[in-house]
Amino acid sequence: MAQHFSLAACDAVGFDLDHTLCRYNLPESAPLIYNSFAQFLVKEKGYDKELLTVTPEDWDFCCKGLALDLEEGNFIKLADNGTVLRASHGTRMTAPEALAHQYGGKPWKHFPGDVGPAGRSGKYYFYDNYFDLPGALLCARVVDSLTKQNNGQKTFDFWKDIVAGIQHNYKMSAFKENCGIYFPEIKRDPGRYLHTCPESVKKWLRQLKRAGKVLLLITSSHSDYCRLLCEHILGNDFTDLFDIVITNALKPGFFSHLPSQRPFWTLENDEEQEALPSLEKPGWYSQGNAVHLYELLKKMTGRNEPKVVYFGDSMHSDIFPARHYSNWETVLILEELRGDRDGKPEESEPLEKKGKYEGPKAKPLNTLSKKWGSFFIDSVSGLENTEDSLVYTWSCKRISTYSTIAIPSIEAIAELPLDYKFSRFSSSNSKTAGYYPKPPLILSNNETLTTK
């Protein structure tokens, strides 16, 4: 594989929407997502009212890359070899001695291994995006509550209620029906929760089109919500920017359901109308699959093997499946890179919004968690009389394995020429090669980490 990656060499450029093209104001959106679930659990399922009260300090629990053991109520952070670096029961962190006793330095029993998706099953759940993280805090506090109520309860069966909360707040008809808490609030005041795309990004998208690239928008959000987001962040003429818009894509299944692919559906007034045996022309569609999309891209580009790059924020839904199943180039949007260089979180909202919204703010979810430490590396206690060693996290390893490059935002590359040559992660043994504009400071300072 070539040492460098360039957008100029790509025939089609695809984008996820939420937290990729559309950046959210995380200190505002996180409490909204949390409340959409907490209100449901308390009012509909009879959970403790304490769940409704969240302090600014509580948000420190949130950290991407954690796994929840649904049977035991434990959250864990994995090293690149699958061993457990840190753990908690609910929000209560596990002491090092108890951690060694419980997990014994062996790979976690559900560790997916080097290859394969970060599977989600009835036994565990991986948290890898900003829609998920408020749910991690809520689930941890549910475990706290149930443990307290039931004198140290050892097994837990709350996940079915979380799934019911998802269905209530985020089902396909929820936007149209004004159902739940989340969609009505976003509709009421989108500017509170969404960052508009800067003009540099809009110019960049138009530049890609002028250069003959096929532009794709592939989102698991439903078409009505997609329309609201795009009109707010890009303007009412946003459809002019994209050749193909695919909503309700049901990722990662959009890429991974082989060979029984879901068909594309036509849309009318945001309602699915007709299932299509194949995709014949550009337009706006629902569901579908990467195989049929690629056949259309062959026709549109006149190439037998058009080169596709896909931008996304979720390793589970975007990056791993696009690379593993479709062999697309992948650009990971990693907001943990924002403001990293000086150790301070990037300003989370523009100055004109400062003080506009009352109440305690959530910690920006892209800043360092004191409880869980770095998203990229962590320390492992050495044997007696030996020093601790630093190791890569499993999340960090997956970035360098499945991403072509990782960037803090699309804005970070929007003013570069299209033929700019990015260093790929695969271009050397370095775990930092593919980060643009610079690697996380913590990785730069620890280039010679232990790799297990």
Q: Exposed e or buried b for every residue in 368-384, given b needs 16+ CB within 10 A?
A: bbeebbbbbbbeeeeee
Nearest to 68 by CA among 5, 121, 129, 130: 121
Evaluate whether 99 touches 86 at the Cβ level (below 8 Å): yes
Q: Which DSSP string corresponds to 100-140?
A: HHHHTTSBPTT---SSS-----SSEEE--STTTHHHHHHHH
- Within 13 Å and on the Cβ side, how many CA atoms surround 229? 23
- CA gap 406, 435 in Å, rounded: 5
Evaluate whether 381 touches 388 at the Cβ level (below 8 Å): yes
User: Active-site residues: which are they?
Assistant: 16, 18
- CA gap 401, 323 in Å, rounded: 10
Nearest to 165 by CA among 297, 296, 35: 35
Q: Dihedral, CA atoms, 142, 148, 154, 157, nearest 10 degrees?
A: -30
Burial class (CB in 10 A: 0-12, 13-18, 19+), 271: middle
Nearest to 238 by CA among 226, 253, 254, 247: 226
Residue with tokens 């990467």, as numbered in its chain? 290
Other CB atoms within a 10 A radius of the CB of residue 149 amount to 10
- CA gap 90, 144 in Å, rounded: 5
Q: Which residues contact 376 (CB under 8 A, 6 or more apart)?
A: 336, 392, 393, 395, 396, 440, 442, 443
